[in-house]
Amino acid sequence: MAGMGDDHAGHDHVWADDLTKNQGLVLGTLAHSDGPLSAYDILDKLREDGLRAPLQVYRALDKLMERGLAHRLESLNAFVACADANCHRRGLIAFAICEDCGKVDEFADPLIDERLGVWAGARGFAVARTTMEIRGKCANCAAA
């Protein structure tokens, strides 16, 4: 019964000490995964920790994303823990998603961000947030 689910519930919340129980569980699950997880994937991994409904996961994800601790990959309907220990990153974040192995590389490029600002400024568009997702093959998988 000491299932594998415990290994992240055990050390709880390393990343921020004011997460609620569900937020800690969800972030722990994401951080221990080697790839993006859908909300239902997360739910399944947390059933033995007492979670039973999708909403519990979505609520936690919303809070985590507000704080920049997790990100949503729109093109996958899936979520990842922020790769930057405490991202809180404003502005553009980009993700390179390997379609072979599923690995996701998070990065920020100030030049792209600035270039985007130029475009928006020229048109009077007020940018709230930007999602940028690159699909392809990572170096490892491209070599194979």
* Site for Zn ion contains 105 (CB under 5 A): no
* Site for DNA contains 135 (CB under 7 A): no
Q: Which does 101 bind (CB under 5 to 8 A by kind): DNA, Zn ion, its own copies, none?
A: Zn ion
* Packing angle, helices 54-66 and 21-32, rounded to 10: 80
**Mapping DSSP to helix (H, G, I), strand (E, B) and coil, where does residue 71 land?**
strand
Give the count of beta carbons closer than 10 Å to the beta carbon of residue 138.
17
Binding mask 6-25 for DNA (x = CB under 7 A): --------------xxxx--
Give the tokens for residue 52: 């039973």
- Tell me the C-alpha distance between 90 and 129, whole Å: 9
Q: Which residues bind its own copies (CB under 8 A)?
A: 74-75, 96, 98-99, 105, 107, 109, 111-112, 115-116, 119-120, 123-139, 142-143
Min. distance of Cβ 135 from its own copies in angstroms? 5
